[in-house]
Amino acid sequence: MMQGSLVAIVTPMFEDGRLDIPSLNALIDFHIDQGTDGIVIVGTTGESPTVDFDEHCLLIKTAVSQVNGRVPVIAGTGANSTNVAINLTQKAKDLGADACLLVAPYYNKPTQEGLYQHFKAVADAVNIPQILYNVPGRTGCDISNDTVLRLVAHPNIIGIKDATGGIERGTDLLLRAPQDFAVYGGDDATAMALMLLGGKGVISVTANVAPKLMHEMCVSAIAGDVMVARAINAKLFALHQKLFVEANPIPVKWVLAEMGLIKTGIRLPMMNLSAQYHEVLRNACISAEIL
């Protein structure tokens, strides 16, 4: 089972918005060298809404090739169209991804039955491990725990990224789901607590800029080493919070550019970080000793 710090990796871009594949390759090597346990490519942090189908596939292909089996590659393949999600998931499988991450259909606000049928259709169509992704703050759609527990019965649905930020949601799921169903944190600020309760890791934004510390925190939390996990999490906590002063991935891309790891490119409708937040982010980085 995949566990630990799974980075929701950014998509490096040149200033004109073109994909910066050499920087992505270098970033993947940086993560593996720093102990990141898995690469999640083309998720929300990877600006999936603004890459086209061919670019989406190129990013998955690049990640699989560069990782070369060193850690798992999880491809974001969710969509608000079931057919598009099926096509992307099949393509990810064909390109060699180890698993897929499927966000809840956004904007169209399906019912719980619609959500169940959507995820079941993708899992029926493509034989690859699939992780549900619940982030109602961005999708306008909340996958209830009862719906998740219905989907657990499907052999291709192996886990969920819970980005609700509600510890009670994750606790309820951990108590009711089978032990081999993986609950991953999707909210960095609450991820440590979720792991101490039995979660298998975090699909992390913070890991983009502090991969070694996030890996070490996950190792400690999963092992139940509370004191070490708490100490590392305390060091990271300002980052957990301040990386969301504007919509993700605006802040994290700014930090990575400050670290010299990527260029400043980002695609509209996202824009570069507002100047008023530069010092706020810089101070959070200093407290985590990454700048």
- Judge whether 112 and 169 are in contact, CB under 8 Å: no
H runs (alpha helix) in 98-135: 112-125
Bridge pairing between strands 157-162 and 73-76: unpaired
CA distance 221 to 183: 14
User: The tokens of 287 are what?
Assistant: 């407290």
Question: Percent helix, strand and coil across the chain, each rounded to 5?
Answer: 50, 15, 35
**Burial class, 178, CB count within 10 angstroms (exposed 0-12 / middle 13-18 / buried 19+):** exposed
Position 258: which residue type? E
Q: Is 73 helix (H, G, I), strand (E, B) or coil?
A: strand
Within 13 Å and on the Cβ side, how many CA atoms surround 222? 19
In degrees and rounded to multiples of 5, residue 284 shows phi and psi of -65, -40
Active-site choice (91, 93, 161, 200):
161
Calculate the alpha carbon distances from 80 to 29, 88, 114, 176 in Å: 32, 12, 11, 28
- Judge whether 138 and 44 are in contact, CB under 8 Å: yes
Query: What residues are paired with 13 via a beta bridge?
Result: 19
User: Whose CA is closest to 186, among 198, 197, 202?
Assistant: 202
- Judge whether 15 and 263 are in contact, CB under 8 Å: yes
Calculate the alpha carbon distances from 196 to 45, 134, 170 in Å: 25, 20, 11
Active site residue 106: no
Active site residue 161: yes
Active-site choice (133, 184, 242, 253):
133
Instruction: List the catalytic residues.
Output: 133, 161
